[in-house]
Amino acid sequence: MYLDILVGIIIVFSLFYGLRNGLFVEFLAIFGLIVNFIIAKKYTPVVIEFLGLSKDKDRYFVTYIVTFWAVYILLGIVIHLVRNVLKNQSKGIITRILGGAIGIAKGILLSVLILLIYNYSTDMFTKLKKYSKGSYANEIFLEVVPNIEKYVPEVFQDKIKELKNLELVNRYVNKLF
């Protein structure tokens, strides 16, 4: 339930942010977010080698998240500069509505990232599991995630498969009793 609230807040804020910024800025933001996923996946091993870290799952996970957020911040600065340049241009209602739609898509992508981090972190911090009890967002995430597995680092893929199998077992056990 708590995960559902968090995902809902992220999507609603992304909608309002998209309505405020309009189509062009939100298109750049979502394009930047997709590029960010690709850059983080590609350069995480490079960062690990550069820093001389061991390649175990936990270090890869932390390095991936740090790389992702570093690139996200850099792209955010660029988008902020573009927004300042476009600030004086008037935005029509259609541009704002399309910006809101793209904002929702961006919110969904950010929610997917948060759910990835959450589901991976539940092994390390078992107390987090209580926040996913009865979460529809996490159920939908576990159903949809096989479609995006090729874009997700291998470390996360193993955890996702494990969670999906556990979810299927829980469903069948619940149906039996």
Please compute the mean of the pLDDT values over residues 161-174 and round it to a whole number: 62
Does residue 25 have a pLDDT over 90?
Answer: no
- DSSP letter at 147 equals G
- Mean of the per-residue pLDDT values of the chain: 81
Q: Name the more confident of 87 and 13.
A: 13
The per-residue pLDDT for 101 is: 93
Residue 163 has pLDDT above 70, yes or no: no
Q: What percent of the chain has pLDDT over 90?
A: 10
User: CA dihedral in degrees (127, 123, 105, 36; nearest 10)?
Assistant: 130
* Alpha carbon distance 114, 28 (integer Å): 21
Rounded to 10 degrees, the C-alpha dihedral 114/6/77/148 comes to: 30
- C-alpha–C-alpha distance, residues 71 and 73, integer Å: 5
pLDDT average, residue stretch 61-81 = 86
Whether residue 173 has pLDDT greater than 60: no
Residues in Cβ contact with 142 at an 8 Å cutoff, skipping those fewer than 6 apart: 119, 160, 163, 164, 167
Residues 154-171: what's their mean pLDDT?
65
Sign of the Cα torsion 7, 106, 65, 166 reads positive
| Predicted pLDDT of residue 155 | 66
Q: What's the burial of 114, exposed, middle or buried (CB within 10 Å: 0-12/13-18/19+)?
A: middle
Residue with tokens 């930047």: 32
pLDDT at 175: 58
pLDDT, residue 166, reads 63
User: Is pLDDT of 61 > 70?
Assistant: yes
Phi, psi of 135 (to 5 degrees): -85, 115
- pLDDT grade for 9, boundaries at 50, 70 and 90: very high
What is the arithmetic mean of pLDDT over 39-53? 87
CA distance 50 to 28: 30
